[in-house]
């Protein structure tokens, strides 16, 4: 199975606190760390864990954080096809509290690859499963060379505008920015999957009744919720890319999301086999 992601990367600064501070309050962190993250990066690493390697098409800031992000993702098994833009790397500040929940502050605009960037776009022809989170319309059109194309509902307006046939749309039912509106995409995606955290989520085939799926139990103690949804998307892309039906692909995705919860940061706990 050859997987790919066309998406975004963020440089993440984590702090662990007892609780997210209220207005005017001072809290002290008992741990801090940094790593590349963002939906594109996390899904690409999850796909590399399952398939042995993956390729990520992206844009990064031409600064220390941008170059570190590329090097650290390469060390995690992802081949990074990127262009460096003359601007700071997008960053996020993430609180992890004692309930293991994450609270995120984003600094900077999302960066994605442009279809005109001099990247190895021909590599997409042999890709079995591809996940799209960011890029211009031309980059989105190029992703259709993959056998199976999954996209995040966070770019719903772009999916409607570009009218590229998508095999599956995935997102969080709890996030207003990831809301899926039936009937607006042309053509309508054959599969829509929306997650609801520990309550599982729902999925539906075009023209069929909506169905619920259960969350998978974490295979260990809960440590950190950051990256669970993106790991879910990576697992779904892998399952659909290898030809699994919707139920089996969603089951794998749920296990990927649950496993991510058991590690510090997005990568430590990620599922490493589809079995």
Instruction: Evaluate whether residue 271 is within a structural domain.
Output: no
Residues of the domain holding 60: 3-20+30-260
22-46 mean pLDDT? 96
- Count other Cβ atoms within 10 Å, centred on residue 18: 12
Examine residue 266 and state whether it is found in any structural domain, yes or no: no
Taking residues 177-203, report their average pLDDT: 93
Structure confidence by residue, pLDDT tens digits, 119-171: 999 999 999 999 999 999 999 999 999 999 999 999 999 999 999 999 999 99
Q: Are 125 and 4 in contact (CB under 8 A)?
A: no
The confidence score (pLDDT) of residue 96 equals 94
By the 10 Å C-beta count (0-12 exposed, 13-18 middle, 19+ buried), 248 is classed as middle
Residue 11, pLDDT above cutoff 90: yes
pLDDT score at 206: 82
- Is residue 132 included in any domain, yes or no? yes
Position 85 in a domain = yes
**Percentage of the chain lying above the pLDDT 90 cut:** 93
Residue at 202 is within a domain? yes
pLDDT at 275 over 80: no
CATH number at residue 238: 3.40.1190.20
* 60-117: pLDDT as tens digits: 999 999 999 999 999 999 999 999 999 999 999 999 999 999 999 999 999 999 999 9
Q: What is the mean pLDDT of the chain?
A: 96
**Helix segments in the chain, DSSP class H:** 39-51, 64-75, 137-142, 156-162, 228-241, 246-260
Q: Is residue 216's pLDDT more than 90?
A: yes
Whether residue 269 is contained in a domain is answered as no
Number of independent structural domains in the chain: 1
Is 272's pLDDT higher than 90?
yes
Q: Is 274 domain-assigned?
A: no
Residue 274 has pLDDT above 90, yes or no: no
Whether 103 is in a domain gets the answer yes
pTM over cut 0.85: yes
């Amino acid at each position: 199975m050859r997987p790919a992601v066309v998406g975004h990367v963020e440089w993440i600064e984590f702090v662990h606190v007892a609780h997210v501070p209220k207005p005017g309050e001072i809290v002290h962190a008992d741990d801090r760390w940094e790593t590349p993250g963002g939906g594109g990066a996390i899904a690409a690493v999850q796909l590399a864990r399952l398939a042995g390697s993956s390729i990520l098409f992206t844009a990064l800031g031409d600064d220390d954080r941008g170059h570190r992000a590329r090097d650290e993702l390469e060390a995690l098994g992802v081949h990074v096809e990127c262009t460096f833009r003359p601007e700071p790397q997008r960053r996020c500040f993430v609180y992890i509290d004692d309930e293991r929940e994450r609270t995120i502050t984003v600094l900077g605009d999302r960066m994605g690859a442009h279809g005109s960037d001099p990247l190895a776009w021909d590599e997409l022809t042999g890709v079995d499963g591809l996940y799209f989170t960011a890029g211009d319309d031309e980059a989105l059109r190029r992703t259709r060379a993959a056998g199976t194309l999954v996209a995040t509902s966070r770019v719903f307006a772009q999916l409607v505008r570009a009218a590229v046939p998508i095999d599956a749309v995935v997102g969080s039912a709890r996030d207003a920015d990831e809301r899926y509106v039936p009937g607006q995409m042309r053509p309508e995606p054959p599969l829509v999957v929306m997650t609801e955290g520990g309550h599982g989520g729902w999925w539906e085939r075009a023209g069929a009744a909506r169905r619920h799926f259960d969350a998978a139990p974490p295979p260990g103690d809960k440590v950190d919720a950051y990256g669970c949804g993106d790991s879910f998307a990576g697992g779904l892309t892998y399952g659909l890319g290898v030809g699994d039906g919707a139920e089996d692909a969603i089951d794998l995705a749920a296990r990927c999301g649950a496993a991510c919860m058991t590690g510090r940061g997005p990568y430590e706990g990620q599922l490493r086999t589809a079995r």
